[in-house]
Amino acid sequence: MSDSEQETLIIKEVELCEICGLPHEYCDWGDFPNECSAAKEPEQEGDEEGEEGEKDAESAPKKSSKKEKVKMASQIQVLRSKRGSRKFVTVVIGLEEFGVDLGEAATLFRKKFACGASTVKAAGGEESIDIQGDLTDEVIELISEKFNIDEDKITTAEKKRPKKAKTAGKAPKNRSSRGMRATITSGMQ
Amino acid sequence: MFTKFNAATDVSKVTLLKKSIAKKVSNDLVENFPLLEEVVEELVPKKAELEGVRLPDNVELLAVDKEIRFFRWSERDAETGEIDHYPYVPTMRILLKYPNILPRFQMDAGAIKFVLKNQSDVMAPGLTNEQAHMDEVDENTPVALFAHGKEHPFGIGLTIMSSAEIKEKNAGVAVKLLHVLNDGLWKMKGI
């Protein structure tokens, strides 16, 4: 059955859903199954009927509710991470999802708290704001006041540092990067 | 593997890899996934900027020009204490584009819910009924997970038993789930 070497490579361009980012057939298991199906149906109906008045009336409220729900789902994380043995950095993640310009927010923090604050690009492509000092409570208060964000949507946590001691202890004796399992290569034939 | 992974907090280190590694990586890829030979030059260009991203639990991602394309992980052998590197496996975004580079494991439609939503491993009965299909593979092989009635793959797993064994035993965990749509790695756009 697995004559994979004789087969030819299939190349497909898969369309991803704009709302949940999954291929359309898997929308049901995504983050927003209801929104995805809701978004599909009015489009089809609207195209068939083609009446402007109805379209506007239908699509406008649905769009806004979609946005609200996205907002409901997103959260702001305020993390406190350690720097050195007795210094802290407050990390704010997820502000941009509430339509806040991160650069401006950082400037605001800088002025309000009289300390260093900057936007930092994380490895996941997301940007966060780093504020020098342990300012968790103050930041939450300021965010909720300034940007009209419910305090319930702000979560706090200690940011855990990657365990360095563990990886150091696991230093490989024989670092053979070609140490592939023989079974894996043989399995492909 | 990436169930609880969060790109914003869990990346411990991003290192720029040597250019010469590109050749080795592409050789390994062709060796493990022969069908990739045509496009390997596209996936891992010789002059591309390669970066390794370290994650917890000895998982490592390979990014080509800031786009994450492959992942691999290593395990310590319980007896000898040596560290075994598994080969690079393409991410879902690559697999969706080239769906037949991995052996096909198709399960019945009822199993999607558990794998995609709960991120559970694939149990043998889901792979042995009438709707299902298995390419013949040995244990410890990365496989593409498909579902009955769906066109595209939705996950990547590692077989725990060979396909013959799965048919014979028809019980227990058959495929360990590695990577699935909508998990932490899928949501990670780039570095």
Q: Could you give the ipTM of this predicted complex? A: 0.71
- Judged by CB atoms closer than 8 Å, whether chains meet at B100 and A4 is answered as yes
Secondary structure class of A168 (helix, strand, coil) = helix
User: Mind telling me how many Å the CA of A153 is from chain B's nearest CA?
Assistant: 18
The DSSP letter of residue A159 is P
Q: Which residue of B has its CA nearest to A8?
A: B35
- pLDDT in the model for residue B80: 77
Helices and strands of chain A, counted as H and E runs: 6, 5
- Judged by CB atoms closer than 8 Å, whether chains meet at B190 and A172 is answered as no
Answer yes or no: are the C-beta atoms of A133 and A110 closer than 8 Å.
no
Test the B interface: residue of A5, A29, A74 with most B CBs within 10 Å: A29
- pLDDT in the model for residue A94: 83
- pLDDT in the model for residue A19: 79
Nearest to A1 among B6, B9, B135 (CB): B135
Whether the model clears a pTM of 0.80, i.e. scores above it, the answer is no
Answer yes or no: are the C-beta atoms of B155 and B99 closer than 8 Å.
no
Tens of pLDDT, residues B96-150: 988 889 999 999 888 888 888 888 898 888 888 888 888 888 888 899 999 988 8
Answer yes or no: are the C-beta atoms of A118 and A127 closer than 8 Å.
no
User: Mind telling me how many Å the CA of B189 is from chain A's nearest CA?
Assistant: 6
Burial of A10 per CB tally in 10 Å (0-12, 13-18, 19+): exposed
Whether A11 and chain B come into contact, CB under 8 Å, resolves to yes
User: Mind telling me how many Å the CA of A171 is from chain B's nearest CA?
Assistant: 9
- Alpha carbons B153 and B175: distance in angstroms, whole number: 15
- pLDDT in the model for residue A14: 82
- pLDDT in the model for residue B117: 83
- Alpha carbons A91 and A160: distance in angstroms, whole number: 12
- Judged by CB atoms closer than 8 Å, whether chains meet at B138 and A187 is answered as yes
| Weakly modelled stretches of chain A, pLDDT under 70 | 1-7, 40-73, 122-125, 160-189
| Angle (CA) A105 A108 A114, round 5° | 135
In chain B the domains, ranked by start, together with CATH numbers, are 7-99 (3.10.400.20), 104-184 (3.10.400.20)
| Weakly modelled stretches of chain B, pLDDT under 70 | 8, 190-191
Test the B interface: residue of A183, A184, A185 with most B CBs within 10 Å: A184
Paired tokens of A78: 């305020």
User: Mind telling me how many Å the CA of A6 is from chain B's nearest CA?
Assistant: 9
Residues of A in contact with B61 (CB under 8 A): none
- Judged by CB atoms closer than 8 Å, whether chains meet at B103 and A4 is answered as yes
Helix (H) or strand (E) holding B61: strand B59-64
- pLDDT in the model for residue B156: 92
Answer yes or no: are the C-beta atoms of B11 and A123 closer than 8 Å.
yes
Residue A38: phi and psi, rounded to 5, are -65, -35
